Amino acid sequence: MRVIQRESNEAKPTRILYGANLSHDRLVKYLEELKNLGVIQETGSDDKIYSLTQKGIEFLNNFRRVETFASAFGFKI
Amino acid sequence: MEFIAFIIAIAVSYQALKGYRLTNERTLLYLHLSFLLLGAGLAIDGLANLIVLLVRFHRAFLFLSSLGYSINFVAQLVAYGLLVFAYIQQTRTSVSQVAMAAMPALLFEHNPVTELILLFLLVYIATQTGINYSVNKSAISLFVFGAFVSLVIAHLFFLFFTFSAPVFFALAQIAQLFGFLLLLAMLLRVNHRL
What is the arithmetic mean of pLDDT over B154-169?
Answer: 84
The residue among B6 and A53 whose pLDDT is bigger is: B6
Sign of dihedral through CA atoms B117, B182, B72, B167?
Answer: positive
Note the pLDDT of residue A37.
Answer: 85
Note the pLDDT of residue B122.
Answer: 93
**pLDDT per position as a tens digit, B68-92:** 888 999 999 999 999 988 988 876 5
The domain locations on chain B are: 2-193
The answer to whether residue B95 scores a pLDDT higher than 60 is no
Q: Which residues of A touch B82 (CB under 8 A)?
A: none
Note the pLDDT of residue B49.
Answer: 86
What is the arithmetic mean of pLDDT over A9-35?
Answer: 79
Predicted complex ipTM exceeds 0.85: no
Note the pLDDT of residue B149.
Answer: 95
B149 and A CB contact within 8 Å: no
Length of chain A: 77
Q: Which residues of A touch B138 (CB under 8 A)?
A: 71-72
The answer to whether residue B104 scores a pLDDT higher than 80 is no
The answer to whether residue B167 scores a pLDDT higher than 80 is yes
B109 and A CB contact within 8 Å: no
Q: How far apart are CA A42 and CA A52, in angstroms?
A: 9
The answer to whether residue B117 scores a pLDDT higher than 60 is yes
Domains and CATH numbers, chain A: 2-73 (1.10.10.10)
A66 and B CB contact within 8 Å: yes
In percent, how much of chain A has pLDDT > 90? 14
| Nearest chain B residue (CA) to A57 | B194
Cβ distance B138 to A70 less than 8 Å, yes or no, reads no
Q: How far apart are CA B132 and CA A63, in angstroms?
A: 20
Cβ distance B86 to A77 less than 8 Å, yes or no, reads no
Of B119, B124, B11, the closest CA to residue B73 belongs to B119
User: Which of B136, B190, B191, B193 is best to mutate for the A interface (most A CBs within 10 A)?
Assistant: B190
The answer to whether residue A46 scores a pLDDT higher than 70 is no
Q: Which residues of B touch A77 (CB under 8 A)?
A: 19, 23, 25, 28
